[in-house]
Chain A
Amino acid sequence: MSGVRLSRISKRFGDVTVIDQVSLDIEAGEFVVFLGPSGCGKSTILRMIAGLETVDDGEIHIGERRVDHLKPGERGVAMVFQNYALYPHMTVRDNLAFGLKNVGTDKQVISKRIDEAAQSLEITALLDRRPGQLSGGQRQRVAIARAIVKEPALFLFDEPLSNLDAALRGRTRLELAQLHQRLGATMVFVTHDQVEAMTLADRIVVLNECKIEQIGSPMEIYRRPATQFVATFVGSPRINLLPVTVNAGTDDKAAIALPNGEQLLTAIPMAKLPEGESFTVGIRPEHARIAEDGVGEVTGTAEVVERLGERCLIYLDLGNGHKLTAEDRGGSTVKAGDTCTVKVKSSRAHLFDSTGKGWHAEGE
């Protein structure tokens, strides 16, 4: 079990820089998730750690060992691929044994490790089958078992759940979390699915346009998004964004004027905000609730009502070119076309300046 240190690593394809001086320390035993949209560079970083892409600048250490000049097989890492990448012509047992045979592991040790991994992932009955005879979920288990038998210093997962159906994805996610608890191994996981990131990670690294936007625990990322991009990328439904003007309110807190002129007092210290900036307020849908008594700050027309069981999402047109998503209780009587008033929990609002930097209430 080893930590990982990325020191100002860069990657260029021709004239295009796809990873630009990224630095990151991953603790031993930590489960870190790289989260970001397609093309943000998250898989490239993973592949650089694995040795499948060269590192143009910077250094990679796994444990105390510098590895960026080593071949993939010499780095002590195991990787689970999106498409499983099992060897189709080999049985499951041979798939698991292949890596160990290549490094000259004793036959008895190979057999013991395969049995243990197969038992823990419940694939013992599949050992003599070929990948073509397995379901997607079974293949995924075999791919994970292939990584486990190597007892690597570091596990790498490249969107391993994206080919599974929704039910299986949920179950495999849970199993991965249990696997991490059981092995206590260092794991780096790449995904564009925020639910996977939020549920699995000790820390999330949010990437956008080849750069790290924010590193933090799942709740830190959710509650204190460093940038407007992070705020919009993490959280479903999406955070509401409205342009506002900021004034000094009471207790040195920032007061904001919504597009409809309504004034709200936030919990964000006024003194910290940059002067002369235009701001956008970010309000999570759970902090914008339909006011049953009709007393609120924002009024709009319901365009769509999504009934999710324990709660409803109401998509409102505010009539001034702006939209807002609000929440209501599960038994909401709101229908499309109704005029609704929304009560905003302004103490939980976030502000984003023109550069996209986020400003939050203290102690959130």
Chain B
Amino acid sequence: MRAMRLHPAALTLVIIGAVIMMIPLLWVLGLSFKSNAELLADTSRVFSPPYTLENYLNIFGNGEVFRWIINSLIVSLGMTTGVLVISSLAGYAFARLDFPFRNLIFIIVLLGLAVPEQAVIIARHQMFSAVEMHNTYFALIIPGMATPFGVFLMTQYFKAIPKDIDEAALLDGASRFTVFWKVLLPLTIPAQATLGIFVFLTAWNDYWWPLISGTNKEMFTLTVGIASTQQNFAQTEGLGFLMSQAVFAALPILIVYLIFQKYIIQAVAGAAGR
């Protein structure tokens, strides 16, 4: 695919937009390298020395932050794995298998897209409360595994693979499971990568459900944990430490982005193209 040449005016606009979006991020990064004492007096000299690693060293000295990072990793990876497994199997079934009420069930699954989380959050809370499962990884992970979008995406992706390939594999003596596992699933890797990245990012950044379900400090995810360390309205104390936590929390996301940026760009471009 040839790279599109932007008009100079458009390029200027894009650069201005990028700078505007980067300023708060650079601001956070700058604050994270400033001492809390200095920030208490003045936050305007972000981009001038002196800088310090004190805030980051404090993170390493704070066991809670690590605990929250581990929690976030477990929840995000667990949810991502679950969504990929469920969406792949459901997508294969909806795309390839004949079973009673297939279309009706598919429509019911898709209707889930129209239900906002806010509408079900109380019922969900009561459900987990009734079975006394709050403050468990299970409670943090399971609700996010119901993703109509994932099922829809994988169904469409499986449908786009020519059936000839399944049939060739069946003629090659493969069982249904072998066809799924060795032939079709590897062909859906781009879709799985896209879905996996979005689920991981969503789970990592999620705040609301972990805030409701993980009330025990030991079960905080990073987002909830960082929020809990805010001490007052203006955050006049410990601002540098808070910013360093935010930067630290964003690192896994940055790593995920750097590794999978090809798929993220493809996914965003694909979504825009449709």
Contact = CB atoms under 8 A, between A and B. Distances in A.
Interface of A: 50-52, 71-74, 77-79, 81-89, 98-99, 102-103, 146, 150
Contacts of B165: 85, 87-88
B174 A85 contact: no
B167 A103 contact: no
B187 A73 contact: no
Contacts of B132: none
Contacts of B169: 87, 98
Given A81-B164, A83-B164, A85-B164, A72 B187 contact: no
B211 to A, nearest CB: 42
B170 interface: yes
Interface string B182-225: 11001100000000000000000000000000000000000000
B171 A50 contact: yes
B171 A88 contact: no
A87 B183 CA distance: 7
Given A83-B162, A87-B183, A52 B172 contact: no
Contacts of A102: 172-174, 178
B178 A72 contact: no
Contacts of A50: 167, 171
- Chain A CB count within 10 A is highest, among B164, B168, B169, B170, for B168
* Those 9 A-B pairs whose CB atoms lie nearest each other, nearest first: A73-B173, A99-B172, A85-B164, A102-B173, A85-B168, A89-B186, A72-B170, A72-B171, A81-B164
B172 A88 contact: no
29 contacts: A50-B167, A50-B171, A52-B170, A72-B167, A72-B170, A73-B170, A73-B172, A77-B171, A79-B171, A82-B164, A83-B162, A84-B164, A85-B162, A85-B165, A85-B167, A85-B168, A87-B169, A87-B183, A88-B187, A89-B186, A89-B187, A98-B169, A98-B172, A98-B182, A99-B171, A102-B173, A102-B174, A146-B168, A146-B172
Contacts of B187: 88-89
Given A87-B183, A89-B186, A81 B172 contact: no
Contacts of B172: 73, 98-99, 102, 146, 150
Nearest to A73: B173
Nearest to A147: B171
A212 B170 CA distance: 28
Given A87-B183, A88-B187, A89-B187, A71 B170 contact: yes
A252 to B, nearest CB: 55
A77 B178 CA distance: 19
B74 to A, nearest CB: 31
A99 B171 CA distance: 8
Nearest to B183: A87
Contacts of B167: 50, 52, 72, 79, 81, 85
A79 B167 CA distance: 9
